[in-house]
Structure 1
Amino acid sequence: MKKGILCAAVAAITLLSGSAMAAEKVKVGFAPEPYPPFWVPDAQGNWTGWEVEFIDAVCDEAELDCELVPVAWEGIIPALLGGKIDVIMNSMRINDERRKVIDFSDSYYDMPTAVVANKSDDIGVSPEDMSGKIIGVQVSSGQQAYANKNFASQASEIRGYNTQDEAYQDLAAGRIDVVLDRVITMDQFLRSDAGKSCCETKGNLPADSATLGEGNGAGLRKDETELKTKLNEAIAAVQADGTYAEISKKYFDFDISPKK
């Protein structure tokens, strides 16, 4: 009888321990639009790419059960604040404006923003170069904030697009004059048939932490201190153990790690 009680007690303890060790479920919000090489849909509609692999590595390291939840980019911060998702990991720039409403993890990658325009257009990246131009930017992006801050008085129009692809389509068709974008996604466009035939990079914009941010990080609600700590520890761990470099070399021939 005592042996039966002991076995039952051991089984109960084992069950409780297993429950205690179950991974915390975390809903990771992302905008369901191609953003190569960070987010690329395959033929079955599954998402692949650098950031997808990075999220998997971070969640494994932090022992989190992460679920990718698609949310339109313009509604992704409201979805976070409303509790529909727990964290944003979608190449979101860390900047002062967003810090007013959400918190961020440590930065996990960074790259400059550049100007792309028609090959025949002899312009640079200064406000004077934007005189009379129609500038295309993705809505709710650092590039839109930069353009509004630095180019609004010179440009003919700053036109917002829901996706970067739409901006490039209009650039290739001659409906706008300039697109502001980060160099890696701009490079993807310039390698395409449409991009190769029409356009080229005109130079990188100066650093501006207020608009272009301080690298890219995970967006969190301000009260999620425990989750923030877990993510920061996991981000540091995958960088230290070589996982970050192993993932990155599949997609880039240059360093995208955040600059200290």
Structure 2
Amino acid sequence: MIKPFLAIGLLLGVLNTTTAVLPQVIKIGSDTSYAPYEWLDVDGTAKGFEVELTDAMCQHLGVKCVFVATDFDGLIPSLQSEKVDMLVSALAMTEKRQRQIAFSDKIFAVAPRLIAPKGADLQPTADSLRGKNVGVEQGTTQESYANAVWRNQGVNVIAYQNQHLVYEDLVAGRLDASLQDQVAGEEGFLKQEKGKDFAFTGPAINDTKYFGVGTGFGFRKGDDELREAFNQALIAIRADGTYQAIAAKYFDFDIYGG
């Protein structure tokens, strides 16, 4: 039998884990060149699927979120140096990144895929891409994969500071293909006017060694209260349908995955 004062103490302990004192302003590092997840509007305002999700979570938590545009390969350093408080940038939860930072629960899950000019018969294999120029964004899991699996097999892997530059060189004919998240490639390029002469080629790449088991928000190791607060906020917005309503604005399939 649990004594009354002990039961009250246990209850207060549970409440304390879910009502942590959070900063009133949370600075969020994000690569805003990766539509539909994050992009900058003409007025410099961050927009996108993850931006709306984060705003909904911050509203649930009663805090203000401020997005700080950061090149992808600078995200983890900016978090570790405390320039930002967390990362929201379609971050795949890979083993390598988990050694550097802590992750939230899964936010969504998608796989990467090649884009090439329409009619190009290219597959996401070293044999098919040997001698070809393939663009990737610096610091991404796509870059890690291409360097590890393709580069030493004769594929010219070219890294760019952001995704916009990858697409620019693809359109200009300086690249034979680009490798990026499938949804970002479709929504941020193929469905746009600049991508009208391009298409996916070959199947999606599913390799958990390089691409992990989904994406999450990034936190400094030890910032457990902030991380758990966003985990609880994610549970809340999925339970009340907010997550699904936001996702339906951007996707016609279940972005969360199984």
TM-score tier after normalising by the smaller chain length: 0.7 to 0.9
Residues 27-83 of structure 1 deviation map (CA, whole Å, 9 limit, x = unaligned): 21112x332222233332212221111001111223333222233322221111111
Work out which of the two has the higher radius of gyration on C-alpha atoms and give 1 or 2: 1
Q: Hey, what does 1:233 align to over in structure 2?
A: 232
User: Residue 132 of structure 1 contacts residue 154 of structure 1 at CA under 8 Å; is this kept in 2?
Assistant: no
Q: Hey, what does 1:163 align to over in structure 2?
A: 162
User: Residue 171 of structure 2 contacts residue 194 of structure 2 at CA under 8 Å; is this kept in 1?
Assistant: yes
User: Residue 20 of structure 2 contacts residue 225 of structure 2 at CA under 8 Å; is this kept in 1?
Assistant: no
1:106-185 mapped onto 2 (5 Å cutoff): 106-185=105-184
Q: Hey, what does 2:10 align to over in structure 1?
A: none
Q: Hey, what does 1:189 align to over in structure 2?
A: 189
Q: What's the offset of the Cα at 1:111?
A: 1.1
Q: Hey, what does 1:103 align to over in structure 2?
A: 102
Distance in 2 separating the partners of 1:228 and 1:118: 41
Residues 92-130 of structure 1 deviation map (CA, whole Å, 9 limit, x = unaligned): 111111111111011101111111112232122222111
1:209-220 mapped onto 2 (5 Å cutoff): 209-220=208-219
Matched, 1:30 2:22: no
Partner of 1:24: helix, strand, or coil? Answer: coil
TM score, norm. by length of structure 2: 0.86
TM score, norm. by length of structure 1: 0.85
Gaps of 5+ in 1: 1-19
Distance in 2 separating the partners of 1:23 and 1:207: 37
Gaps of 5+ in 2: 1-18
Q: What's the offset of the Cα at 1:143?
A: 0.4
User: Residue 58 of structure 1 contacts residue 234 of structure 1 at CA under 8 Å; is this kept in 2?
Assistant: yes
Q: What residue identity is the alignment partner of 2:118? A: K
Q: Hey, what does 1:65 align to over in structure 2?
A: 64
User: Residue 56 of structure 2 contacts residue 237 of structure 2 at CA under 8 Å; is this kept in 1?
Assistant: yes
Q: What's the offset of the Cα at 1:21?
A: 9.7
Distance in 2 separating the partners of 1:27 and 1:45: 16
Q: What's the offset of the Cα at 1:22?
A: 7.8
Q: What residue identity is the alignment partner of 1:84? A: K
Q: What residue identity is the alignment partner of 2:159? A: G
Residues 175-206 of structure 1 deviation map (CA, whole Å, 9 limit, x = unaligned): 11111011112113122333212x21112333
